[in-house]
Chain A
Amino acid sequence: MNWDAGLPLLILSSSLLPGLVIFFLPEERVATRTTLNLGGALLKLVLVGVMVWGVFHGHHYETRMPLLPGLDLVLRADAEAVLFVTLSTVLWLVTTVYAIGYLEDSPHRSRFFGFFSLCVTATVGVALAGNLITFLLFYELLTLATYPLIVHRGTEVARQAGRTYLTYTIAGGALLLVGTVWIYSLAGSLEFTHRGFVAELVDTHRAALIVIFVLLIAGLGVKAALVPLHGWLPQAMVAPAPVSALLHAVAVVKAGAFGIVRVVDDVFGVEVAANLGVTGPLAAVAAVTIIYGSLRALFQDDLKRRLAFSTISQVSYIILGIAIVGPAATIGGLVHLVHQGVMKITLFFCAGNLAETLGIHKISEMNGVGRRMPWTMAAFTISALGMVGVPPLAGFISKWYLGLGALDAGQGWVVFVLAGSSLLNAGYFLPILYAAWFKAPPDAWPAERTWGSRETFWLLLAPPVVTALLTLAAGLLASAPFSPLQWARFITAQEYMP
């Protein structure tokens, strides 16, 4: 096997193999486990770095193995895959560090980190999948790998949340399966290609294609938490904080959104999808989700639940960007895939820190917390402002391109959705910031732990600070080479140029 064919497989194994080994490690082998975790994450980062460089210079990385006669499992590094792989790899490394700190002294860590690694493996597989069946395989694997993480605490609430999660995702997976088989039986192929592979069926099987589109989007929309398929997400908040962070920023929700990008761009192709008249309704659903999620977030007092509804709203920006047919909007959607991940993971890290250090779970308990934990709250503030779309932070870039694209495509209503959503974002984030920085702290925190002179355990503090800096960087250095924005332009250029 030569280097170009082996690289995707190697990237996959760099988290799979450590994960499998970790399962069999005894609980007390902390050092070995940490080495394996971080070693795998760093190795993956290096490999992905090599791949980014290679893809940019026209290398073609592809691993193929037969699954069925005429149907292969394909791992391929195209530009979109690289975008998502890079995001998950970077954030995995950060989250691993955070999780090691967060789960210090808690039971069943081997199991946790084993599934954690599997989860990332599945995400990377989703990203690298070169056809729909490979995508489906990793998409389902992701469902299975996240389930034990959600029920990790083993309480009755966790079991219920796990059940809701599975009900939604397995049903979604079933819809996706039907859509996949159906499109295979019509088109005879499942390979992702830049302008889709169903163009010649438009005239003969128009109705079937529309139904397939709906099936695929509904199946993926469950994970992407499109309204009304979002019910599992707020419940899944019972999981430990690093899991929530990973779920919202990298793995599950993103896999759904990324899948929708794939379906629109590489299965149907934007032009075919527009021709079928399915992008308009998709944009409408996304817009409804954006507004609905924001509205619900306004009324949550539980911090993690507010963040969860915020995720529902934010992820639909990506889908909105894809559904507005036009280069600028696509750039906006793709770049938000990265930006939302970086910002949201910071927020969840911070929420986890507040809960671990001071026992704060509710927004009403956050008065004056900025003075007790300045670094954490600084990171929180940067990300929250980014979410609102304050220039020059990452969220502003996304919204700018989305608005620009909507105007280009003659869909002015989208601008109102964006503006309304930004107002709502401000409505649910700014009070938190105000309370944290300007209100007087209470006499005692709900459950305080101290780590010497620092505000919290350094393994918990470093990750959000790093990701907050990334948020800043993604906005300030948006025009530097290899920034998310430049990469999204690179992808869009391939999509829209003949």
Chain B
Amino acid sequence: MNHVFLYALVGVGLFTLGLYTLIVCAHLLRKILAINVMGSGVFLVLVALGGRTPGAIPDPVPHAMVITGIVVAVSATALALALMLRVRAETGRARLPEERLE
């Protein structure tokens, strides 16, 4: 097992971990963070799989993709946080209504 594959595996692990948190935790901040963790997992997979042939120059295209992805993720997170604050201001809780009973 080479280290590239290991990175990819860790990426998938992060993805799964984030997914689990997203489903289980009710607090919106945790959900947003979970999404970010998942995103990082995917980026890790992308970068890791970019260096396919060990020792050679890594393929630049995945890097470009990751940078684009990060830009998107940052703006998404900003929007999510702003929304969360508004939700909290309106309802007094940073949760979705169907998860209020937890």
Judged by CB atoms under 8 Å, the answer to whether A and B touch is no
Which positions in B face A, CB cutoff 8 Å? none
Which positions in A face B, CB cutoff 8 Å? none
